[in-house]
Amino acid sequence: MTASESRRVAAFRRFAADAGDDGVVLVRVEIARGSTPRDRGAFMAVSRTDSFGTIGGGRLELDAVAHARRILEGHEPVPLALPLGPAIGQCCGGHVTLGFERIGPDRSETVERLIEAEDRADPEVWLFGGGHVSRALVRALALLPLRTHVVESRAEELGRTPQGAARHLTPLPESLVANIAPGSSVIVLTHDHALDFLIVSAALERDDLAEIGMIGSDTKRATFESQYKREGGNAARLERLTCPIGLKIADKRPEVIAATVAAQIMASLAAYRAKPTGVPG
C-alpha cells in the first residue's frame, strides 16, 4: 500500500477500536438508479457514536445511520430502499437501495479490504520535480482519491516531499515515463527546462495518459513546440500538452497554483475515464 492508503486503513482501525465489542455496521449502496449522491459500491461504516466514510450525506445518510444503529441494538440487517424525493427531503430524483452487514471486532479486515480495493482503483498522478509547487501539490492532492508519485534527480529536494506521495530518486527521470500506468496524469515541473523537454517528449510518445501538463508560460510552450518539431516530434501530439498548467490568475504563490492544478488534474482524469474503452487519451 502507498502512504495515503496506509493512513486510510489506519484511520478505520482506530474507528473500529473505538467501536469496541459492539463492532460496526457496513452500509453499502447496492442499487443506484437515476440521479444519486454516490454510485453503486459506495460504502461507509457506522458505530453507535460515529461513522467512517460516506454514502452521500443528507437525509439519505441520516436514515442509513439510524437504520445501522438499530441493527447494532439487535434488529435484523434488512436492506433499506429510499426514493430520493420530497418524501425524505432530497431532490436528487433517483432511487437507492442500501445493504447492511454487522461486522464484529474480529472481522474488521472485511472493511479494510474494501478500503484497499477502492484505493487501488484510484488513478495515479506523477509529479516530475520536487520544488515548491510540487510540494504544495502533494499537500493538495493528499485530500483526493489519488495515488501520487514524485520523481526527482536531487536527493535533498526529494527528501523535502511531504507525506502522502511515493518518492522516486533517479538520475534519468524521463526513463520512468514508459512504465507509468495507463490513465495517469503526468505533471512536469522540474528545475531544468532541458529536463522538462525530455520528460514531456517521452510522455507525448504515449497515447494512453489522461493528461500531460508542464509548468511554465505561453512563451515556454512556444519554445518547447519549436524545439519539439525541430527534433522530429509529431506536431499533432502537441494538442495533448497542457502548458501553462492551472488557471491564469495573478496570485503565483505555490499553494494557489497547486489548488488550480489539482482541480485541473481531477477534471482531466474524469474526462479520460468517461471516454469509451479504446479511445486514445
Query: What pLDDT digit, counting tens, does each position of 166-196 carry?
Result: 999 999 999 999 999 999 999 999 999 999 9
Query: Mean pLDDT throughout 212-235?
Result: 96
Burial 216-239 (b: 16+ CB within 10 A, else e): beeeebeebeeebeeeebeeebbe
Query: What pLDDT digit, counting tens, does each position of 2-21 carry?
Result: 444 467 899 999 999 999 99
- Based on the number of CB atoms within 10 Å of its own CB, is 101 exposed (0-12), middle (13-18) or buried (19 or more)? middle
Sheet holding 43-46, edge to edge: 51-53, 43-46, 24-33, 95-103, 80-83
Alpha-carbon distance 229 to 258, whole Å?
30
Model pLDDT, residue 82: 86
Q: What CATH number was assigned to the domain covering residues 122-274?
A: 3.40.50.720
pTM value is 0.82
What residue segments make up the domains of the chain, in order of their start? 3-119, 122-274
Alpha-carbon distance 281 to 277, whole Å?
10
